[in-house]
Amino acid sequence: MKPASPLPRQGGILRPALVVFGALSLVTGLAYPFLTSGLAAAVFPHEAAGSLIKQDDKVVGSAWIGQSFTSPRYFWGRPSATAPMPYNAAASGGSNLGPRNPALAEAIQARIAALKAADPDNSAAVPVDLVTASGSGLDPHISPAAAAYQAARVARARGLPRAQVDALILAHTDRPLLAVLGDPGVNVLELNLALDKLGAAR
Q: For 141-193, how does the pLDDT look when each residue is reduced to its tens digit (9 = 90+)?
A: 999 999 999 999 999 999 999 999 999 999 999 988 777 788 999 999 999 99
48 Cβ contact partners less than 8 Å away, ≥ 6 residues apart: 37, 40, 41
**Which has the closest alpha carbon to 190: 21, 61, 9, 42?**
61
**What pLDDT sits at residue 181?**
80
User: Structural domain tally of the chain?
Assistant: 2
Query: pTM for the complete prediction?
Result: 0.81
Residues paired with 187 in a beta bridge = 141
Q: What angle do CA 164, 199, 59 make, to 5 degrees?
A: 110
177, part of any domain? yes
Q: Do residue 28 and residue 63 come from a single domain?
A: no
Q: Domain range holding 69? A: 51-201
**What pLDDT sits at residue 8?**
57
**What pLDDT sits at residue 4?**
59
121, part of any domain? yes
2, part of any domain? no
- In terms of Cβ atoms closer than 10 Å to its own Cβ (0-12, 13-18, 19+), residue 147 is buried
Q: Do residue 39 and residue 134 come from a single domain?
A: no
Q: Confidence class of residue 70 from pLDDT cuts 50, 70 and 90?
A: very high
Q: Do residue 140 and residue 188 come from a single domain?
A: yes
Q: For 21-35, how does the pLDDT look when each residue is reduced to its tens digit (9 = 90+)?
A: 999 999 999 889 888
Distance CA 70, CA 73 (A): 8
Q: Do residue 114 and residue 136 come from a single domain?
A: yes
136, part of any domain? yes
Q: Which residue has the higher pLDDT, 6 or 58?
A: 58
Q: Do residue 57 and residue 101 come from a single domain?
A: yes
4, part of any domain? no
**Which has the closest alpha carbon to 74: 199, 185, 163, 173?**
199
Average pLDDT in the 85-113 region?
Answer: 94
